[in-house]
Structure 1
Amino acid sequence: MNNKTISCKPQTQNSKLETRRKKPRLPFFSILSMSMGFMGIQFAFALQNGNASRILRGFGADMEQLSWFWVAAPLTGMIIQPIIGHYSDQTWTKLGRRRPFFLVGALLAVIALILMPNAGSFANYLPPLLFGGAFLMIMDASINVAMEPFRALVADMLPKEQITLGFSIQSFLIGIGAVIGSWLPYIFAEWLGFEKVASAGQVAPNVTYAFYTGSTVLIITILWTVITTKEYSPQQLAEYSNDQTQHKTPTFSDIFKDIGHMPKTMKQLAVVQFFTWIALFGMWVFTTDAVAQHVYKLPISDVTSLKYQKAGNWVGFIFGVYNAVAMIYALLLPTIAKFIGRKMTHTISLICGGLGLISIYFIGNPIFLILSMTGVGIAWGSILAMPYAILAPSLPSQKTGVYMGIFNIFITFPQIINGLFGGMIVKRVYHSHAIYALLMSGVF
């Protein structure tokens, strides 16, 4: 392997004193490669976000049950990510300390991607709805296992002045994966002629084959990062952080101590993350039904017709639009943040996303939903990068993984709250008119 071109090893031999002061700057290809696997993860995540609701609705889930099934995803993330972060901080193998975790997570996610659209095949054993919900949980748990170490890897490898660039490139790659993953069912159905309607209890072929494609992309991109990225050893990380003290071996209970000693920056971001992710969860769960009912004028009970499937495919397409906007916007973030600061950049971006979601209520033509998703895309591009760019410099190097995992609690907890009560509110207060869930998300 030619470490001069594809390795993340330091490029220069500095004096010991200089090395302790600062991590070396890394070339563009190294920064790109360390986040390439995240593109595959987001490909899978986009397929899940754009299609899980209509898959579960086709299996028989009603509006209230829909959000309950989605609760499994953030619940597993809230539990798993701090644990993964803690143990990845303490792990060192031939593959490093982050790479083993996202490799295992990717393999499990591939299995779930293949099995979820085939949940109807297990109908002789249990209702497809239960199998579909179980595979959704497995998929999201696996994605969570793989996702957190990628955040920590960027913080591990890059000097402070490249942190914003590193997370922006990561957001750009996430955007590529999300755009293709979101558009794939639409492309298979509308451009390649795949059948887009299935009988009750089954999943349309265009969605099924999109999931198969996602599993292939995921494993290829994860292997790219595993093969091309060489992590710093614990000794090197200690030198770069000027941390020459001897630390006791951390225990599992230290996770709770770390929560109590969160950096001030993390506490400030926690409030912002809470309202951000309670809104995103509502968008992912209810957009398909909101668009079908409010824009395509379908009755609430229609979840299997050709028109409903067209609405679902169009939602996948506009989700791809917001991810495409996020991908482009991510490239502009370092420049914008340089002029107005990271915090103001993030604030303005979130306002654009809120206005985009609210605007859906006033739209009657599906084409104009592209404008709404442009606002959402601006917010999403910032959500994927700026909180981590703001947070990373405040974290001690020996606890980067566990704090990135703890930070995920402020992403998953609001989703759990929305999952437990959002569907109930939509069904009992809004009488299953899902458009009001999107209005509520925009306000948040």
Structure 2
Amino acid sequence: MTNPSEDRRPRPPATRPPPHHPSRPAASTAAQSKVSKRILLRVASVACGIQFGWALQLSLLTPYVQELGIPHAWASVIWLCGPLSGLFVQPLVGHSSDRCTSRFGRRRPFIVAGAVLIAIAVLIIGHSADIGWAFGDREGKIRTRAIVAFVFGFWILDVANNMTQGPCRALLADLTENDHRRTRVANAYFSLFMAIGNILGYATGSYSGWYKVFPFTKTVACNVECANLKAAFYIDVVFIAITTCLSVSAAQEIPLSSLPSEAHEGSSSTQEAFMWELFGTFKYFPGIVWIILLVTALTWVGWFPFILFDTDWMGREIYGGEPNQDPYYSAGVRMGALGLLLNSVFLGITSVLMEKLCRKWGAGFVWGVSNILMALCFLAMIVTSFVAYHLGYLGHGSPPAGIVFTALFIFSVLGIPLAITYSVPYALISIRIEALGLGQGLSLGVLNLAIVIPQVIVSVGSGPWDQLFGGGNSPALAVGAVAGVIGGIVAILAIPRTRVQKTTPLP
């Protein structure tokens, strides 16, 4: 790679090759040449705290926004803040962390700042009903001020999640650089801790008695369901504080300012050229990187309808309830949280086996088969909804045990492809883009574009799309199934099983 100091002639930002990134020399120093698996485990542990909050968010917040008065058709629009913030925040944070000159390291300051923002955000979300009441909300179908507080906290939460996860994955990549097997192991650890966080978060969300443990959470503005959510977020704050301390204390990063001057000279470049730099890297990508990005996009077109509506699907289409109208919906949401807990158990088991599966069958084949399995599970959900509707119990009683068992089984099996989605794409993109000389933070930001753009499309379109076919969640799940099959076929046929060949770095 050309040293930036050898040629200082100005070039247009749009055509400027990506500068020399500091992650390579930092990670290749002798001090970090062989980081133990115990340290990798501790560094990855922050994923447990982050995912604990995500589990509460994914299982409880779509039902909660409907209880605040937002119609089902527009509930998905609330989730736009996640992909929109990820579209800009994660690449920018990754770019900035590649160049951070803090004496505490490049990644750790962003991880700590993100964790603090997560804590602030969940407290705002948990108290949104109380905030709305304080500003004039009273009993009514739509609690406008509470919705404003909720959306504000939700935006902060998604920004904070993106601020934390990207640098953590980049830090793991820094610690395992040039060792492709250890890179896969590190990402499997991250996926494993995500599973553990999910299990604990979904278990917390499925328990309906937190308001008794923390009786002060129930107020005139906050009913039992709201109080349970608020208490769960209190637990989340404590949990993420513990895991963040474990993670940042384990990784002894070398500050960028301590490296030779040529390793961080690019850090003085202006941030205004960032987006030009990000998009300017695209022309250097080999075909295999574009295939990974395509399969990633198709995979998340599949996953996002499920993530949006999993517990809502259980409450509406299996238990036959409606928010704020009968007890069946709340019972279904809690049962959905239990299903997601089982999902996380399968996710954790698969994460432990990830390295062996990829070594035996190839990462592309494993990823493709998992996408097809995901699509089959979505089709099974649609069939289960159809059967439940024609059994005639919806709105009149509890669902039959066979229907509930089938729904829980589907949720559980979906943990297998979810574990692969959380691990394999990150390992593949990290290995291949590292050979081009890009910083790990920026490279993961590029991958994030392939995740958030489909999420924006699904967030905008899934609610009206479902409404076009009479409501329910089946139309969006059908689109997800089709995307999963296409992505699976592309991954199997187009991602080579051979080892990554040495790639000429960018000029």
Q: How far off is 1:258 after superposition?
A: 3.3
Q: How far off is 1:193 after superposition?
A: 8.2
Per-residue CA deviation, residues 238-279 of structure 1 (Å, 9 max, x unaligned), is 89xxx9796574332144233232332432111111121122
Q: Distance in 2 between matches of 1:314 and 1:378?
A: 20
1:167/1:388 contact within 8 Å kept:
yes
Asked if 2 retains the 8 angstrom alpha-carbon contact of 1:197 and 1:309, the reply is: no
Q: What amino acid is aligned across from residue 281 of structure 2 in structure 1?
A: H
Q: Which residue of 1 aligns with 2:198?
A: 178
Match of 2:277 in 1: 257
**Counterpart position of 1:147:** 165
Determine if contact 1:156/1:237 at 8 Å carries over to the other structure: no
Match of residue 86, structure 2, among 77, 86, 108: 77
Q: Aligned pair in 2 of structure 1 residues 440, 390: CA closer, same or farther (>3 Å)?
A: same
Contact 1:55-1:117 at 8 Å conserved across structures = no
In structure 2, distance between residues paired with 1:87 and 1:247: 11
Could you give the per-residue CA deviations for residues 26-79 of structure 1, whole angstroms, max 9, x where no partner exists? 222111011111110111111111111011011001012201111111111111
Deviation for aligned residue 1:206: 2.2
Give the CA deviation at 1:102.
1.1
Q: Does 1:415 align with 2:455?
A: yes
2:256, 2:275 → 1: CA distance?
19
1:192/1:25 Cα in 2 relative to 1: closer, same or farther (>3 Å)?
A: farther
In structure 1, what is the Cα distance between the partners aligned to 2:452 and 2:429? 17
Counterpart of 1:34? 43
Q: Tell me the secondary structure at the aligned position of residue 57 of structure 1.
A: helix
Partner of 1:442: 481
Question: Is the CA contact 2:130–2:221 (under 8 Å) kept in the aligned structure 1?
Answer: no
CA distance in 2, matches of 1:191, 1:350: 39
Q: 1:312-331 to 2 correspondence within 5 Å?
A: 312-331=333-352
> How far is the alpha carbon of 1:398 from its aligned partner?
5.2
Question: Structure 2 CA distance, aligned partners of 1:97 and 1:138?
Answer: 22
Deviations 1:330-351 (A, max 9, x none): 1111001111111111111111
Q: Residue in 2 aligned with 1:167?
A: 187
**Contact conserved, 2:46 with 2:244, CA < 8 A, in 1?**
yes
* C-alpha RMSD over aligned residues: 2.8
- Distance of 2:219 and 2:332 partners within structure 1: 15
Most deviating of 163-172 and 283-292: 283-292
* Structure 2 residue 124 is the aligned partner of structure 1 residue 115: yes
Segments of structure 1 that go 5 or more residues without pairing to the other structure are 1-15
Is the contact between residue 430 and residue 443 of structure 2 (CA under 8 Å) also seen in structure 1?
no
The structural deviation recorded for 1:292 is 2.2
Distance 1:112 1:266 in 2: 35
Deviates most, 182-191 or 429-438: 182-191
User: CA separation of 1:193/1:317 partners in 2, compared to 1, >3 Å: closer, same or farther?
Assistant: farther
Partner of 2:365: 344
Matched, 1:223 2:262: no
Contact kept in structure 1, 2:82 and 2:159, CA below 8 Å: yes
- SS of aligned partner of 1:408: helix
2-side partners of 1:30 and 1:238: how far apart?
26
Match of 1:135 in 2: 153
Following TM superposition, by how much is the alpha carbon of 1:420 offset from its aligned partner in structure 2, in angstroms? Answer: 1.0
Residues 282 and 261 of structure 1, relative CA distance in 2, 3 Å threshold:
same
- Tell me if structure 2 keeps the 8 A contact 1:354–1:375: no
Shift of 1:302: 4.2
Write the distance in 2 (CA, Å) between the matches of 1:328 and 1:191: 32
Q: CA deviation at 1:304?
A: 4.4
Deviates more, 1:79-88 or 1:269-278: 269-278
Is the 8 Å Cα contact of residues 357 and 373 (structure 1) preserved in structure 2? no
Shift of the 245–97 alpha-carbon distance from structure 1 to 2, 3 Å rule, reads closer
**1:276-296 deviation per Cα after TM superposition (whole angstroms, max 9, x unaligned):** 112222112222332222211
- Out of 433, 436, 460, the residue aligned to residue 395 of structure 1 is 433
Q: Verify: 1:430 aligned to 2:452, yes or no.
A: no
Give 1:198 deviation, angstroms: 9.6
TM-score of the two chains, using structure 2 as the length reference: 0.77
Of residues 302, 319, 341, the one that matches 1:279 is 302
Give the direction of change, closer, same or farther, for the CA distance of 1:370–1:391 in structure 2 (3 Å limit). Answer: same
**What letter corresponds to residue 78 of structure 1 in structure 2?**
L
1:370 corresponding residue in structure 2:
408
Provide the rounded CA distance (Å) in 1 between the counterparts of 2:218 and 2:327: 6
For 1:279, the aligned partner's letter is G
Question: Cα gap change, 1:245/1:292 in structure 2, threshold over 3 Å: closer, same or farther?
Answer: closer
8 Å Cα contact 2:92-2:274 kept in structure 1: no
Contact kept, 8 Å, 2:101 with 2:257, in 1: the verdict is no
Instruction: Give the CA deviation at 1:115.
Output: 1.8
8 Å contact from structure 2 (residues 99, 256) kept in 1: no
Look up the match of 1:59. Answer: 68
Q: 2:96 aligns with which of 61, 83, 87?
A: 87
In 2, are the aligned partners of 1:355 and 1:442 still within 8 Å (CA)?
yes
Output the amino acid matched with 2:378: L
Structure 1 distance, partners of 2:446, 2:351, is 24
The alignment partner of 2:34 has SS state of coil
Q: Greater shift after overlay, 22-31 or 50-59?
A: 22-31
- 1:116-172 CA deviation, whole Å, 9 max, x = no partner? 121111224352122212211111111111111011111111133311111001110
Higher Rg: 2
How many percent identity over aligned positions?
A: 21
Taking the aligned partners of 1:230 and 1:55, their CA distance within structure 2 comes to: 41
Rounded Cα–Cα distance in structure 1 between residues aligned with 2:218 and 2:96: 44
Q: Quick one: distance in 1 between partners of 2:198 and 2:449?
A: 23
Give per-residue Cα distances to partners, 1:381-438, cap 9 Å, x unaligned. 00111001111112245521112112111111111111111111112x1222223322
State whether residues 184 and 355 of structure 2, in contact with CA within 8 Å, keep that contact through their aligned partners in structure 1: yes
User: 1:417 & 1:279 partners in 2: Cα distance?
Assistant: 12
